[in-house]
Structure 1
C-alpha cells in the first residue's frame, strides 16, 4: 500500500512534475552523460521537502544509515546496484569489510548495518563487520529487536592493510561519518578500496561546497527543463567566523538571514505564494549528530539565539536549542538556508521523503514522519518514525500519461530526479575536495 499522503497537488509542483515527465528522455540522457564524466558517490541518501510550490533537497548524506527502513520489495534494486558498484571498483572482490559508527548499544542503528551486510552478501560477497571502537577488543555478538544478531569484530591493522583476524578484504565500506575526525587506522591504506573516501567524512566535508555544486547544477538542469531553478534549489548563504557562545559574528549572521529572507520574499511575491518565509541555520561542517537546525522567521530573531547570563559569557537561549539537545555553541561556519515547507502528511504526521541511492541508481526510500513537529520545522529529531515509500503497483516506473499528482510512481520519479541531482552535486563536491586529484594549470 502507498502511505496515505495529503499533498498540495495544485500550482507549480504540478507544472514541475509535468515538465519532468515530458522531459524524461532528455533527463535520463543528461544523467547518463554526467556519469560518463563523473563518479557517483558509492551510496547516498537525500532528504527532500515538497512545499507544493517547490521541491528541493535539504540534506545529502554520504554515509546513510536507515537501510533497515527499506522494504523487502526494494532489496533486489539495492542488490543489483551493489553488484554494479562493486564490479566497477573491484571486479574480483571477494571480501567486504563494513566499518560502522561506534554505536554498539544502538540496536536500531545496528539493524541498518545488518541490512547492509544482507545487501552485499546477496551481491556475492563475504561480508563482516569491523569496529574501530577501542572498546571492542574481541568479537561481540549483539541481538537485535527483530531476532537477528550482528557480530562486531575488532579491526586489525598491518603496515599496509586493514582487516580482521583471518579476513583480508579488498574493499572497505565506511558507514561512519567520521564526525570526530579521521582515525589514523584508516589512513595510508594500500591496494584496498575505502568507500566513501576519507574526504567525504564530516571532519573534512563542508555543506557550503555541496550547496555551491548543487546551485550550479540546478541552473543547468533548469535550463534543460525550461524552469526557474529556484523551484528545485533552496537559496542559501554562508556565514563565516560566527561564534555564538562568545557573541561574535552575530551581525554577520543577522545580515545573511535578512538577505536570504529578502530573496525568498521576492520569489514568494513572484509566484503569488501566501506563506511566511523562514530560514534554517545549521552547522556548515557537521553530520547528522552535530549542531542542530534552528528555524528563524525574522532577522530580529537572530538576537534570540544569544542569552547573556550574569557571568557575562554568552549562552544559547532556549529558542536556539534543538529537540535533540544540541545547539550552535561551537565556533563554526554556519549555513543560512531557505526553509522549505513540507506539505506532505503520513498518518496525520508531518512527513518528508528520503531517497536512497547506490552508485547511480535510486534503490528506494521512506518517509520521515513526526507527529509533534510543524511543516516548517526539522523532522530529524527523537520521536520521528519511518514509513516505507511503498508502491501500490509492482511497476516502479513513472506513467507519462497520468495527470500530475495522480500517480504515486510519477511523484516518486520526480523525487528520484531531485535526489539524483543532489547525488551529481555530491560527485562534483568530492572531486573538488579530493586531496589526491591532479591539478592542471
Structure 2
C-alpha cells in the first residue's frame, strides 16, 4: 500500500524529485566521495516529513529499534549491508553480542525488534547472542514473542577488560540502547572489542542542535551541487541552553528564539507562496521517543506555554530533567494511508538504505508528532520492482522515485551524523 500526497502534484517537491532523479549519477558520486572521507554510523534510522512543498528529516536515531517493522523483501538488503559493515570493521568477526535496552522484558514489541536484529546478523554469518546489562536479568531468561518466536536474554559477564557471556567471548558488541541515562561503566574501557556504535553516539553526549548544524553544512554543499534552495530539504532551528521550566528561568531565550524562527519561516513561506500557517516544535535537545514535545504556532501560544510546558516538557527519556531545548521548524506531513496521517522512517546499515516504514496515526493531525501511543507501522512498498528509481517518470507519479528521494534525504542525515560523531570523538579530541 503506497500513501498518496494530498497536495497538488506541481509543487516544489516534485521539482526537487525531478532534479534529484535527473542528477542521480552526480548524486551517487557525491555520496561516494563523501564516504571516502567519512565513516558512516553503523546503523541509523531517520524520521522524514513530506509537506508537499518541503521534504526534510526531523530526527536521526543512531540506536534504531523497530527493525521488526521492515518487510520481508527488505531482509536481503539488510543482510548484505550487515555483511559489508562487519567486513569493514572486523573481517575476522565470529561472535556478536547484542545489548538491548534495560527494563524492556515486558515490551514484546521491542523484543521483536531484537529478534529481527539477531536474525539479520546471523544470516550475515555471525554467532549472535543477546546479553543484558539490566541488573534484573540474573539468569538466562527466554521470552516468548507474539509472532511465535522468542528471545533469550542472558546476563553479561564483565572481566577486567572484556564483556561477554558464559562460554561466549565476542569480538563485536552491538548496542541497541540509546544511553539517554548515561554510558554504563560496564561498557567502558573494553580491550580489543569493537563497540558499535561508539559510546559518544549516545544521547548523554549527542545534541539535536549539533546534529542539525552538521546537517545544515551537508545540505548547503549538496544543494549547491544540485542547484536547489537548501531550505527545501533543511529544517531551520534555534537552540536555548540553561532553560528551567519549573523555575521559569531561561524562558526569555525561548521566547526570542521562537519569535525569530517563526519570522524566518514566514519569509520562506511568502517566497514560495505557501498558504499554510508556520509553526515550530520545542523539544529536548537530547533524547528520543517523542518525549518532551510542544508545538508553537504563534507568540500567543508562548503566553500560555510556561504553565503548559511544565506538563509537556518536564523531563526527557530516562527521567533526566530538560535544560537544553531545540526550537525546530515544524514540517507538515501531507501523506496518508487511507485517512490516517503518515510519515516515512528510513533505515540504514553502514552507508546503505535497507528499507523503512510509514509511521501512521489516525488520531493525530498533519502538524503533530506521530511518534506517540496509538501509532502503527506500514512497511514501505519496496517490493522487487520498487528497489530502483525510474528515470523518465512524471514527477509525483512513481513510488520508487519518491522512495529514492526519501533515501537521498536520509543519507544526508546519516552523513551529518558522521560529521557529528567525528566532532565529538574523544580519541580525535585527544589527538588534536
Q: Distance in 2 between matches of 1:20 and 1:30?
A: 12
Alignment of 1:42-61 (within 5 A): 42-61=42-61
- Structure 2: distance between partners of 1:278 and 1:393: 39
Superposition pairs of residues 315-326 of structure 1, within 5 angstroms = 316=309, 320=312
Find the counterpart in structure 2 of residue 385 from structure 1.
376
1:312 aligns with none
Residues 36-435 of structure 1 mapped to structure 2, 5 A cutoff: 36-102=36-102, 103-288=104-289, 291-307=291-307, 316=309, 320=312, 330-391=321-382, 394-435=385-426
1:91-131 per-residue CA deviation (whole Å, 9 max, x = no partner) reads 00000000000111100000000000000000000000000
CA distance in 1, matches of 2:407, 2:220: 18
CA deviation map 1:405-436 (0-9, x unaligned): 11100000000000000000000000000001
Q: Compute the RMSD of aligned alpha carbons.
A: 1.9
Shift of 1:391: 3.5
Residue 439 to residue 223, structure 1, CA distance change in 2 (3 Å) = farther
Q: Is the 8 A contact 2:40 2:351 kept in 1?
A: yes
Q: Cα offset for 1:208?
A: 1.2
What is the TM-score with the length of structure 2 in the denominator? 0.96
1:3, distance to aligned residue in structure 2 (A): 2.6
Shift of residue 325, structure 1, vs aligned partner: 11
Q: 1:206 to 1:387 in 2, by over 3 A?
A: same
**Residues 199 and 433 in structure 1, CA contact (< 8 A), matched pair in contact too:** yes
Contact 1:282 1:328 in 2 (8 A): no
* Structure 1 pair 325–189 and aligned structure 2 pair: CA distance change class (3 A): closer
Provide the rounded CA distance (Å) in 2 between the counterparts of 1:360 and 1:316: 38
**Are 1:437 and 2:422 an aligned pair?**
no
**Aligned 8 A contact 2:181 2:318 in 1:** no
Query: Using the alignment, how far apart are the partners of 1:19 and 1:53 within structure 2?
Result: 14
Q: Distance in 2 between matches of 1:158 and 1:180?
A: 23
3-state DSSP class of the match of 1:129?
strand
* 3-state SS of 2:192 partner: coil
- Structure 2: how far apart are the matches of 1:389 and 1:398? 14
Write the distance in 2 (CA, Å) between the matches of 1:353 and 1:298: 27
**Against the structure 1 CA distance between its residues 246 and 123, is the aligned structure 2 distance closer, same or farther, given a 3 Å change threshold?**
same
Change (3 A) 1:157 1:325: closer
Partner of 1:5 in structure 2? 4
Q: Which runs of 5+ in 2 are unaligned?
A: none
Helix, strand or coil at the partner of 2:27: helix
- Closer, same or farther: CA 205–26 of 1 in aligned 2, 3 Å: same
- What TM-score, normalized by structure 1, do the two folds share? 0.94
Provide the residue aligned with 1:310 in structure 2.
none
Task: Give the distance between the partners of 2:403 and 2:322, measured in 1 at CA.
Answer: 39
Q: Return closer, same or farther for 1:230/1:152 CA change in 2, 3 Å cut-off.
A: same
Name the SS of the counterpart of 1:387 in structure 2.
strand
Alpha-carbon separation, structure 2, partners of 1:198 and 1:326? 17
Alpha carbons of structure 1 residues 97 and 317: separation in structure 2 relative to 1, 3 Å: closer
Is the partner of 2:238 in helix, strand or coil? strand
Q: Is the 8 A contact 1:245 1:330 kept in 2?
A: no
Distance in 1 of aligned mates of 2:418 and 2:387: 25
Q: Deviations over 1:343-363 (max 9, x none)?
A: 000131100000000000000
Does the 8 Å contact 1:304/1:317 carry over to 2? no
- Is the Cα contact below 8 Å between 1:280 and 1:296 reproduced in 2? yes
- Shift in Å, 1:326: 8.3
Taking the aligned partners of 1:325 and 1:195, their CA distance within structure 2 comes to 24
Distance in 1 between the 2:405 and 2:175 partners?
29
Structure 1, 325-334 or 42-51: larger mean CA deviation: 325-334
Q: Any stretches of 5+ residues in structure 1 without a counterpart?
A: 308-314
Q: Displacement, 1:240?
A: 1.2
